[in-house]
Copies of this chain bind each other. A is one copy, B any other.
Amino acid sequence: MTPIMPKADAAELVVAARIRKKLSWSDIAAEIDAPLVWCVAALLGQHPMSAAQAERVCALLDLDAAVGESLQLQPARGIDPAMLSDPTIYRFQEALAVYGPAIKELIHEEFGDGIMSAINFNVDIRRRQDPDGDRVVVTFDGKFLDYRW
């Protein structure tokens, strides 16, 4: 009996295969017909894949079955704290520090006492062209949940 390959190891092998085969994340997402951000998050270890999805990813990337088994495992979700200071990720932290309390005020004004779900939730990222420089547009879209006793 051997342990299941840790999801972090599976993610490293996916990343290596993706680069060496010169595939984009979109190519992989298209192969399994999944939303792009969800697919990348799942391959990096944040969501379990179905057996079918895991098999098609492994076939596309020539990865062996141990990777596919790992991709189906229920994850313990979260981020390596060191990643939070990577500048590309940190800017989102900073935006949350500057605008978080304002967003909270406006959620309560519009919806009442409750939260945006992070579970019934999706994220979208796209490029918006702009003559002053193209823009990264990231949309967080979650069901409103009101405090309900």
Contacts and interface: CB of A to CB of B under 8 A. Distances in A.
Interface of A: 1-4, 9, 12-13, 15-17, 19, 24-26, 35-38, 40-41, 44, 46-48, 61-64, 73-74, 76-79, 82-111, 113-123, 125, 127-128, 130, 132-149
Specify which of A19, A93, A130 lies most central, judged by the most chain B CB atoms within 10 Å of its CB. A93
A24 B109 CA distance: 7
Nearest to A34: B149
A102 B40 CA distance: 5
A61 to B, nearest CB: 8
A106 B125 contact: yes
In the complex this chain forms, how many copies of it are found? 10
Main secondary structure on A side of the interface with B: mixed
B113 A47 contact: yes
Given A77-B97, A136-B111, A147 B86 contact: no
Q: Which 4 A-B pairs have the closest CB atoms?
A: A116-B136, A40-B102, A3-B12, A41-B102
